[in-house]
Amino acid sequence: MTTENSEETLPIREISRLTGVNSVTLRAWERRYGLIKPLRTHKGHRLYRKEDVELIKKIQAWLARGLAIGKISELLDPNQFSYELNVENVWQSYLDELLSLMSDLNLGKLDAWFNQLFSVYPADIIADQLIAPTLEHFEQGVYGNATKKSILVNRVSEYLLMLTQRQRQGAKRERVAIIQLTAETNPLLNIMLHYGLTTSQFKSELLGVSTTNEMLFAVNQLGLNGIVIYNNSCSSLGDFQKELQLFSQKIAKPIIVAGSVAAALHSDYPSHVSILRTGGLQTVFATLNHIFPADRKDGEVNL
């Protein structure tokens, strides 16, 4: 079906900005699974309607619940769709498959497997449902786990940084820095967050471990609009809390604190600091999209 914009429509880049689902995945959902049926211009460019945005968000919700992508078309049938349906968690199958690939260290197959996975599922869902539990599994003191973890972290990081570079040129939203206040034993989830934010067209900067003084410099020189502190570990919770208190006093930009360390924080912080004590990358994305709505007017910030 073609159109010359007879109704309010948006191109695929804008849909990625509104939903956080990259264009490769949106095309896969259309071509392989028939989940989305965008309009087309006479030149063949895809145009999406408001109902397509709502449909994409519904698909994301089902994927987060563990439904296999190939099953979603059945549930989008209005005669079958039900939020009460008992969903078999496909992510357990993916976890078993990944652990098997890592056990054999079949790196060629591993690269192809992740390429397929990232073409179908958004990064935040992969991070929460697959990568985080896999990294936790490799924390067990079992022979070979340290090597497996290093390979997993390095291969996925290389892949995501390559994808991020491709996405970066189209970023038009606010500039957000991702940091840790203390050394993070595993930066892979930060890299996945970086990739996901770039897909959502945030100007994302991955800065690693940083101090309050360094971030004051970064805020001024880079024109940062917000900061995500993502730590899954720290050497001293007391030191972490002291640094965060100083950080929140000196920097008035919106600050999101997430990761496992956030769950242990109990001090009071200023209103511009959001402590995400539960949830993973999906919660970070939701919070950022609340603070900086994709369709907001310039200058609007929701705290």
Q: Name the amino acid, one letter, at 185.
A: T
Q: Name the amino acid, one letter, at 299.
A: G
With tokens 């990232």, the residue in question is: 118
- Residues 80-122 have pLDDT tens digits of 555 555 567 899 999 999 999 999 998 999 999 999 999 999 9
Provide mean pLDDT across the span 39-66: 91
Phi, psi at residue 44, to the nearest 5°?
A: 95, 5
With tokens 């570079």, the residue in question is: 165
Average of per-residue pLDDT values in the chain: 88
**3-class DSSP state for residue 176?**
strand
Q: Which residues of 116-143 are buried (b: 16+ CB within 10 A; e: fewer)?
A: eebebbbbbbbbbbbbbbbbebbeeeee
CB atoms within 10 A of CB 88: 10
Q: What's the CA gap between 13 and 170, in Å, rounded?
A: 8
State the pTM of this model. 0.85
Phi, psi at residue 40, to the nearest 5°?
A: -135, 145
With tokens 């936790």, the residue in question is: 136
Q: What's the CA gap between 162 and 159, in Å, rounded?
A: 5
- Residues 206-262 have pLDDT tens digits of 999 999 999 999 999 999 999 999 998 888 899 999 999 999 999 999 999 999 999
In contact, 111 and 147? CB cutoff 8 Å: no
Angle between helices 145-168 and 90-104 (to 10 degrees): 110
Taking CA atoms, 230 is separated from 77, 193, 215, in Å, by: 39, 9, 15
pLDDT band at 43 (very low <50, low <70, confident <90, very high): confident
pLDDT band at 1 (very low <50, low <70, confident <90, very high): very low
The C-alpha angle 58, 175, 199, rounded to 5 degrees, equals 35
Beta-bridged to residue 26, according to DSSP, are none
Beta-bridged to residue 209, according to DSSP, are 180
**CA 153 to chain CA mean position, Å:** 16
Q: What's the CA gap between 15 and 37, in Å, rounded?
A: 13
